[in-house]
Amino acid sequence: MSGSERREQLISISRTLFAEKGFDGTSIEEIAATAQVSKPVVYEHFGGKEGVYAVVVDREMQKLLSMITEALSATHSLIKLERAALALLQYIEESSEGFRILVRDSHAASGTGTFASLISEIASQVEDVLADEFVSRGYDPKLAPMYAQMLVGMVALTGQWWLDVRKPGREEVAAHLVNLAWNGLTGLNPNPEITAATRTQSAIAKPRTSEKEQRDLEKAREKELKEAEKVRQRELKEAEKARVRELKERERLLKEAEKAREREEKIRQREARLAERAARLEQADHPE
């Protein structure tokens, strides 16, 4: 093997062992024996177990972050959410060993390569998406970082659970995740499905479609996005109507309160006049 080939072999072997046994349960001797090389070869390439572990973790983090970043490049917020959830599940399905390494309690040798730091990096990207969505809906964009942590944490923990159960399929899991995140508990869809646009995106690795099929898919995607935009505009209009109703109700209550104050003021003035008249009468009946 060339030096680069040997290095890749050692990384691949170490990745499998770290996923199975963790950092502490894996030794340089085991890595070397599995690769059928002497321990000095491993030290030569990585300087020790910590070095190869750091490389493995960094590669997995970059791979997952790249998939999430690509998913968040979609134009519509719903599509971004679907593709991001699906990207994580796809990574878990195709790189189970890598995900097991990331979700373990990472060794200090990995530096920032912990699952918590990975979630934080993903959340910082989602934060920008949520901030734009919040502004368009009239919410406070300062709350976006908190909601990003909530959203990414929900998806990540679901991914950890799905790592072992693998049921239902990743598209169905993604659909239910988005159902809860997008619609909330009070608006859950009993039979959620991811959009056709996201299904198309997740099938990139499959044989390429014909130009006609591609055009049809693109038309379906545009139609779906238009429908999603109509729903969004309808929600905005309903929210605006609710705000107008609330303002009118507030104005009505203020007017009623003002009238009540005016009535009280008139009563007070009348009582003051009566008291003044009574005082004059009493003075007239008992002159000094």
Q: What band does 60 get if pLDDT is binned at 50, 70 and 90?
A: confident
Return the DSSP state at 109: G
Question: Which residues have CB under 8 Å from 152's CB, separation 6+?
Answer: 119, 122, 123, 126
Contact 179/173 with Cβ under 8 angstroms? no
Residues of the chain with pLDDT > 90, as a percent, come to 15
pLDDT the model gives residue 209: 43
Q: Where does the pLDDT of residue 220 fall: very low under 50, low under 70, confident under 90, or very high at 90 and above?
A: low
Predicted pLDDT of residue 212: 60
pLDDT at position 187: 77
Total Cβ atoms within 10 A of residue 212: 8
Helix axes 115-137 and 211-285, enclosed angle (nearest 10): 70
Return the pLDDT at 11.
93
Of the ranges 13-27, 28-42, 220-234, which one carries the lowest mean pLDDT score?
220-234
Confidence of residue 36 (pLDDT cuts 50, 70, 90): very high
Reply yes or no on whether the pLDDT at 111 is more than 60: no
What local confidence, expressed as pLDDT, does residue 34 receive? 93
Name the burial class of residue 164, with classes exposed (0-12), middle (13-18) and buried (19+) by CB atoms within 10 angstroms of its CB.
exposed
Residue 37: which pLDDT band, with cuts at 50, 70 and 90? very high
As to burial, measured by CB atoms within 10 angstroms (0-12 exposed, 13-18 middle, 19+ buried), residue 4 is exposed
Range name among 15-29, 88-102, 116-130, 199-213 with the lowest pLDDT average: 199-213
pLDDT bucket at 229, cuts 50 / 70 / 90? low
Per-residue pLDDT at 83 exceeds 80: yes
Taking 3-state DSSP, the helix, strand and coil percentages for the chain, each rounded to the nearest 5, stand at: 80, 0, 20
List of domains in the chain: 58-206 (1.10.357)
Q: Where are the alpha helices (DSSP H) in 48-195?
A: 49-71, 77-94, 96-103, 115-137, 144-165, 170-178
Q: At what angle do helices 28-35 and 3-21 cross, to 10 degrees?
A: 130
pLDDT tens string 167-215: 888 889 989 988 888 888 777 787 888 777 777 665 554 444 455 655 5
| Whole-number pLDDT of residue 29 | 93
**Each residue's pLDDT tens digit, 264-276:** 899 989 988 888 8
- Dihedral sign computed on CA atoms, order 211, 213, 218, 219: positive
User: At 236, is the secondary structure helix, strand, or coil?
Assistant: helix
Q: Is the pLDDT of residue 126 over 50?
A: yes
Amino acid present at 109:
A
CB within 8 Å of 69: residues ≥ 6 apart: 125
pTM across the whole model? 0.61
Please state, in angstroms and rounded to a whole number, the distance separating the CA atoms of residues 97 and 18.
8
Looking at every residue in the chain, the average pLDDT score rounds to 81
